[in-house]
Chains A and B, each alone.
Chain A
Amino acid sequence: MANVIDDATIEYVGILAKLELSGEEKEQAKKDMGKMLDYIDSLNELDTSGVEPMTNVFPVKNVFREDVVTNGDTRDLTIANAPEEKDGQFVVPKTVD
């Protein structure tokens, strides 16, 4: 396996992705990610120099809205699925600032 994913990397990606893996899951994730990256590295066989990265497959551009208010007060719908709600707001654990 060319790509060796260490504990620090898994820990770091876990912080980015907000996932907390158990010890066993971590070991599995290290193996899986290493294998996938080895596989993905096969792309390096391909000469892509001078090729523009393609985000949109079609040359669609300039899709706009006009600056006109179309939405009314739908607060009830906004908070309808809230796990915890107070006075029409979402409740979250206390944030630092």
Chain B
Amino acid sequence: MSLMQLTAVELGKKIKAGEVSVVEAATAALDAIEKRDAKYHCYVTVVDRETVLKKAAEVQAKIDAGELTGPLAGVPVAIKDNMCTEGLLTTCSSKILGNFVPTFSSEAVLNLEKAGAVILGKTNMDEFAMGSTTETSAYGVTKNPWNEEHVPGGSSGGSAAAVAAEECFYALGSDTGGSIRQPASYCGVVGMKPTYGTVSRYGLIAYGSSLDQIGPMAKDVTDVATILECIASHDPKDSTSVARTEEEYRFTDALVDDVKGLKIGIPRDYLGEGLDPEVKESILAAAKALEAKGAIVEEFDLSLVEYAIPAYYVIASAEASSNLERFDGVKYGYRAKEYEGLHQMYKKTRSEGFGPEVKRRIMLGSFVLSSGYYDAYYLKALRTKALIKKAFDKAFEKYDIILGPAAPTTAPKLGSSLSDPIKMYLGDIYTISVNLAGLPGITVPCGFDSKGLPIGLQMIGDCFAEKTLIRAAYAFEQTHPYTRANVEE
């Protein structure tokens, strides 16, 4: 069996036991990337072998010296390309940051490095995390390891595919409207978006600041809980970072196969029109499996589901239009070659540097904030958000967990999504409201459709209830172990 089939925690144990060296693990990962990435294109940037192996040797020395003892010490990782990594190209899969080398690392990455992670490279994504397929990347499309004719989902498609294609042991993604959970679902891996404020956003290149959250993507729930425990922190550099109790940070404590008495609600609104019957069947079967383990499952009306997408696109586009103003050719990144005067420099730089989807959202966001429209669009969306949060609060009075699909369908074919933006946006219907309400959500693989593409089960928890989610996901996983994609060894 190839080392690459191990989960992060399994590998960590072997490294700790001295059965595998960090250099061996890193070499195996680099070899896998060399062998397979031409096919799947999970990475925008792969760190050169010499640097990776040097770092691996350093980590090994610290492990040997007893300085690094955590479960992820020595385990190689892939980072989504919207997280700053000091000295390592960080592009957000955009031409406008095509040459940007950050001078500091994001807090989540620093937390991983402190735990002994070895960074393999930066994964492909939708440009500035705007998209659901990873096709809006300026650096080529990523392919779904289950079927190369299909997308891996997005925007963290490169991270999801890198885990499924065994080109890393685990990865970090970011989730603004489903960008971890949906690609995890499409690629048959586990992905989790924590409660807003759990992982520092410092160093995460912002898309929608009030919605963005970094989270883990891996082969199983144990990995995800372990990684989250490592990256979660209260960061004084991020004003929206929330301090949690020590006990709350011990996510791995929740890796317990016990859902007896757990109250699970399935929103009827999540099972209606637009949901692929095969996906629906698989989700309901998963619910049955949890019921069989003693959970109490019932359907209920969540309400307001159809309003989450328009509210999200107003809020996310507005924030993005402002967040992306800094990319102007003055301080870093791309600058147009020919221009006359300042304003033309701005316009040419940005028009040449951003792709169509990013421009579309910047235009929309600038419009909804412009004079005369702020109340009608932006404030209306913020009021809708308040109502959506209230609907969730009400649901969580009754249920511990909300269960549903991660996406209405399995991974679509490459090239079939971008032509109709609204149709593409509708694909986010089950994930988006979670970001608006700041809730934690997890997706775990729960089956396959008739084309052999993975289906993901999404579970949503109340704010700060990651441990409940982890327990439910772990219990479900016991009935449905991880299935490898058929990647060429």
> Which A residues are CB-close (under 8 A) to B300?
none
How many Å lie between the Cα of A38 and that of B427 in the bound state?
18
A54 touches B313 (CB 8 A): no
The residue in chain A whose Cβ has the minimal distance to the Cβ of B100 is A81
How many Å lie between the Cα of A91 and that of B92 in the bound state?
24
B393-422 Cβ-contact flags toward A at 8 Å (1 or 0): 000000000000000000000000000011
How many Å lie between the Cα of A45 and that of B210 in the bound state?
25
Interface size in chain A (residues, C-beta < 8 A): 51
A35 touches B422 (CB 8 A): yes
> Which A residues are CB-close (under 8 A) to B368?
40
B363 touches A81 (CB 8 A): no
B328-355 Cβ-contact flags toward A at 8 Å (1 or 0): 1111111100011111111110110010
How many Å lie between the Cα of A21 and that of B354 in the bound state?
11
The residue in chain A whose Cβ has the minimal distance to the Cβ of B464 is A58
> Which A residues are CB-close (under 8 A) to B381?
40, 43
How many Å lie between the Cα of A13 and that of B318 in the bound state?
13
The reply on B364 being an interface residue by CB < 8 A is yes
> Which B residues are CB-close (under 8 A) to A13?
363, 366-367, 370
B313 touches A40 (CB 8 A): yes
B386 touches A53 (CB 8 A): yes
The residue in chain B whose Cβ has the minimal distance to the Cβ of A50 is B383
B321 touches A17 (CB 8 A): yes
A-B contacts counted at CB < 8 A amount to: 164
> Which B residues are CB-close (under 8 A) to A18?
325, 328, 343, 346-347, 350
**Chain B interface, >50% SS class:** helix
Shortest Cβ distance from A14 into chain B, in angstroms? 8
B383 touches A17 (CB 8 A): no
> Which A residues are CB-close (under 8 A) to B313?
36, 39-40
B345 touches A57 (CB 8 A): no
How many Å lie between the Cα of A43 and that of B376 in the bound state?
10
Q: Among the listed stretches B140-148, B303-311, B453-461, which one makes contact with chain A, having 4 or more residues with CB under 8 Å of it?
A: B303-311
How many Å lie between the Cα of A36 and that of B366 in the bound state?
13
Among A16, A25, A37, A54, chain B packs the most CB atoms within 10 A around the CB of: A54
> Which B residues are CB-close (under 8 A) to A48?
380, 383-384, 386-387
B342 touches A94 (CB 8 A): yes
How many Å lie between the Cα of A66 and that of B203 in the bound state?
21
The reply on A33 being an interface residue by CB < 8 A is yes
User: Given that A18-B347, A21-B359, A58-B242 are known contacts, is A32 also in contact with B366, CB under 8 Å in the complex?
Assistant: no
A1-42 Cβ-contact flags toward B at 8 Å (1 or 0): 000000001101110111111000100110011011101111
B383 touches A81 (CB 8 A): no
B368-386 Cβ-contact flags toward A at 8 Å (1 or 0): 1010000001011111111
20 extra interchain contacts, Cβ-Cβ under 8 A, other than A18-B350, A32-B364, A57-B196?
A: A10-B363, A17-B362, A18-B325, A18-B347, A19-B347, A19-B359, A19-B363, A36-B364, A39-B310, A43-B310, A43-B380, A48-B383, A53-B383, A53-B385, A57-B436, A57-B438, A60-B239, A81-B100, A83-B329, A83-B335
Q: Can you list the 3 inter-chain pairs with the closest CB atoms, starting with the nearest?
A: A53-B382, A81-B332, A57-B438
B→A interface (CB under 8 Å): 99-101, 103-104, 196-197, 210, 236, 239-240, 242, 304, 306-307, 309-311, 313-314, 321, 325, 328-335, 339-348, 350-351, 354, 356, 359-360, 362-368, 370, 377, 379-387, 389, 421-422, 436-438, 463
Jot down 13 A-B pairs with beta carbons below 8 A, ordered by A.
A17-B366, A18-B328, A33-B360, A36-B364, A36-B422, A39-B313, A43-B311, A53-B383, A65-B236, A82-B331, A83-B329, A83-B334, A84-B335
